[in-house]
Structure 1
Amino acid sequence: MLSVLNRARKSLGQIVIAGAAMVLAACVPASGPTGGGAPASGKIQVALLVPAGSGQASDEFLARQLQNAARMAASDLGGAAHVDLRVYNTAGNPAQAAAMATQAVAEGAQIILGPLTAQEANAAGVAVAASGVNVLAFSNNPDIAGNNVFILGSTFDNTANRLASYAVRSGKSKIMVVHGTDIAGQLGKSAIERGTRSAGGSIVAEGQYGLSRSEIMAAAPGIAAAAKTTGANALFLTASSDVDLPLISQLLVDNGLSPSTIQYLGLTRWDSLVEVMQLPGTQGALIALPDPALSAQYQARYQATYSETPHILSGLAYDGIAAIGALMKTAKGGPISKQALTQGAGFVGVNGIFRLRSDGTNDRGLAIAQIQGGRAVVVDPAPRSFGGPGF
């Protein structure tokens, strides 16, 4: 069974991986080894593909953070004694990602961690498919998952499933989907529909809007009217805190859909901006979050080690190394197999439990939080094992 135990100051916690007798111990982060050739006996050779080299400051920042998190995780596994971590720069370019993946495999990589974007991950996966080496990409795009590519990022489906399940169990089974007409809104709508069906609820109405201010203002009255006439008791929105949420939530309230009379559900991280959590239209809304206790431990440790706040994506690099470390005994000098990666009990990462699915997507254990006056308050904790509370 997966469990997380208390640890000394500055550590993430002893992470016990289901089905393995390995405990990740904290120590000073290592400085990843370099060089070519096959891995030494007893080590696992990991190729970390990061977006450095593009000339973009944001890419360099993320590349540094991903390396830092991966090295922290490798250090927890015993550093250079267990993980031969080699860094390859993709410049955020799919063709270069493919070239770097090919080079990494030629130099003995047994698994690839990264790259960052869906296009890069797809190119890298295709390039090394014949080698049997799997790719653990930082993307959350399920369209590129499958074959030898696994995505580590939390997906719309994962969030929709968790929220819909909780809502239906709480008596909010008549759900109206409210979504933007952009690609993200369309993908979110589909995920909400699947999650609602899986949870045993029903989609009773749908409302959509363009992302301009005038389009949102024009659509809001009709969305509110549909919610009332269909008897919806929950509104599941795809809106994002920094784009359409402030306006659409306010207009829905103004048109008679008070959060006190209908349950609002947010597919995205409505807690990303304190100002948004103070809006009338978000009060009482339910959102899904990574395990807050584990996330806070990671953030504090990263800050103490590297003197900067970790980007939300950096934890994916730690998760990847944690999973690889738990499975390295299965590699026996060769690639880590798909069968090993998809063992059902999963792993514990910096944001909670997660497991990789045979279709290349993932399940992540999420908490349910309610927005209350500028804070996201957990009302249903994240599970600590698959099959437990919350699943």
Structure 2
Amino acid sequence: MQGATAAASAAASEGARLILGPLRADQVTAVGAVARSSGIPVIGFSNNPTAAGPGVYLLSVLPDMEMKRSLNWIKTQGRRGIAGIFPATDFGQAQEAAFRQQAAIASFAPSAVYTFSSSGEAQQIVNQALPQIQNGMIDTIFIPDRATAPSFGVLLAQAGVKPGAVQIVGSADWEGDPAIANAPQLAGAIYPAVDPAGMAAIGADYQRQFGGAPHALATIAYTATILANVNTLSMANPPYNPALMSSATGFNGRDGAFRFLVNGRAEYALVLKRIAPGGAQVLEGAKL
């Protein structure tokens, strides 16, 4: 964090009007503290909503929007018995908080919420959930943690939960993970993601320029650069002021339509994808 603080101080002393980055939540928080005292807005790339705040905008897909998008679709499917499984980490707590909040907004009352400190607790969680699955009290389980989702899928199958009996819901973090895509026990699972059209649009140019495939976060960097050069933002008085940054009309970036809220968090128009043989397929187009 010391490096992030020093870099932000240097940028402020050199007359920066906007800071792009950094990536980690603690770094964004550190940079934000320096930038705020200098009246400089920040567009950070963390996906932990706790790093957002007035003048500190997060240009990432955040748990709130992921949960909102998935829960609204679940509701249209007539499913009501939702449960969630979250790691006992800072980000896991943010996911759990978003799950509870968005469930309440969508008029859901979660049947159960489980947390775990290690993958060794997965079997115990499945054992606890199984009676409610069998009696129909749980028909949907949110498992946003990419690292442990395949293990939970295996344990649910071993417990006799038949495919389709429970709808598994993941997170945008699932995108591009071969362990997720190739896990047969996760076939039929859904997860929210940014519109893949943006990455497809830059792929060929990126390959020509840099000789490789773009990083998964490349589209965020592209969008941040576009925002920094929007005349209505950069030439405003003051530049990048909160009223313009949090305009309800939003912006159109490489990952599609999005908008910043006054609390610094972003809302994206997300697609829903479904795990299927041969790779994830778009189930439903982009929606806020």
TM-score of the pair, normalised by structure 2: 0.91
Q: 2:242, 2:163 → 1: CA distance?
A: 45
Q: 2:87, 2:48 → 1: CA distance?
A: 18
Q: How does 1:68-87 map to 2 (within 5 A)?
A: none
Q: 2:145, 2:130 → 1: CA distance?
A: 16
- What is aligned with 2:159? 255
Q: 1:323, 1:247 → 2: CA distance?
A: 40
Q: Secondary structure at the match of 1:269?
A: helix
- What is aligned with 2:43? 136
Residues 245-272 of structure 1: per-residue CA shift (max 9 Å, x gap): 2211111122132232221111243343
Q: 1:212, 1:276 → 2: CA distance?
A: 16
Q: How does 1:318-329 map to 2 (within 5 A)?
A: 318-328=222-232
Residues 170-229 of structure 1: per-residue CA shift (max 9 Å, x gap): 21232111233344333322221222222233312233444233x223332222223334
- What is aligned with 2:61? 154
Q: 1:342, 1:216 → 2: CA distance?
A: 41
1:114 aligns with 2:18: no
Question: How far did residue 368 of structure 1 move?
Answer: 0.4
**Does the 8 Å contact 2:207/2:214 carry over to 1?**
yes
Question: How far did residue 135 of structure 1 move?
Answer: 0.7
Q: Secondary structure at the match of 1:375?
A: coil
1:282 aligns with 2:186: yes
1:204 aligns with 2:111: yes
Residues 116-135 of structure 1: per-residue CA shift (max 9 Å, x gap): 22222222221132332101
- Structure 2 CA distance for partners of 1:165 and 1:329, relative to 1, 3 Å: closer
Structure 2 unaligned blocks of 5 or more: none
Question: How far did residue 163 of structure 1 move?
Answer: 0.6
Q: 1:101, 1:275 → 2: CA distance?
A: 38
Q: 2:76, 2:162 → 1: CA distance?
A: 21
- What is aligned with 1:221? 127
Residues 2-35 of structure 1: per-residue CA shift (max 9 Å, x gap): xxxxxxxxxxxxxxxxxxxxxxxxxxxxxxxxxx
* Percent of paired sites with the same residue: 26
Q: 2:175, 2:24 → 1: CA distance?
A: 24
2:269 equivalent among 325, 342, 365:
365
- Structure 2 CA distance for partners of 1:235 and 1:134, relative to 1, 3 Å: same
Structure 1 unaligned blocks of 5 or more: 1-93, 383-389
1:103 aligns with 2:7: no
Q: CA RMSD, aligned part only? A: 2.1
1:238 equivalent among 144, 167, 176:
144
Q: 1:155, 1:183 → 2: CA distance?
A: 14
**Does the 8 Å contact 1:258/1:281 carry over to 2?**
no
Question: How far did residue 230 of structure 1 move?
Answer: 5.5
Q: 1:350, 1:203 → 2: CA distance?
A: 34
Q: Secondary structure at the match of 1:203?
A: coil
**Does the 8 Å contact 1:138/1:153 carry over to 2?**
yes
- Structure 2 CA distance for partners of 1:268 and 1:315, relative to 1, 3 Å: closer
The residue type paired with residue 15 of structure 2 is G
The residue type paired with residue 106 of structure 2 is A
Q: 1:325, 1:199 → 2: CA distance?
A: 37
User: What is the number of equivalent residue pairs in this alignment?
Assistant: 288
- What is aligned with 2:177? 273
- Structure 2 CA distance for partners of 1:124 and 1:274, relative to 1, 3 Å: closer
- What is aligned with 1:375? 279
Question: How far did residue 332 of structure 1 move?
Answer: 4.3
The residue type paired with residue 53 of structure 2 is G
1:180 aligns with 2:94: no
Q: 1:226, 1:173 → 2: CA distance?
A: 13
- Structure 2 CA distance for partners of 1:264 and 1:328, relative to 1, 3 Å: same
The residue type paired with residue 376 of structure 1 is A
Q: 2:134, 2:172 → 1: CA distance?
A: 24
Q: Secondary structure at the match of 2:72?
A: helix
**Does the 8 Å contact 1:204/1:230 carry over to 2?**
no
Question: How far did residue 275 of structure 1 move?
Answer: 4.0
Q: 2:26, 2:18 → 1: CA distance?
A: 19
Q: How does 1:273-312 map to 2 (within 5 A)?
A: 273-312=177-216
Q: 1:110, 1:180 → 2: CA distance?
A: 38
Q: Secondary structure at the match of 1:176?
A: strand
**Does the 8 Å contact 1:211/1:244 carry over to 2?**
no
Question: How far did residue 277 of structure 1 move?
Answer: 2.1
Q: 1:280, 1:95 → 2: CA distance?
A: 44
Moved segments of 4+, more than 6 Å = none
- Structure 2 CA distance for partners of 1:354 and 1:244, relative to 1, 3 Å: same
Residues 277-327 of structure 1: per-residue CA shift (max 9 Å, x gap): 232321111111110122211233222222122211222221112223224
Q: Secondary structure at the match of 2:215?
A: coil
**Does the 8 Å contact 1:173/1:201 carry over to 2?**
yes
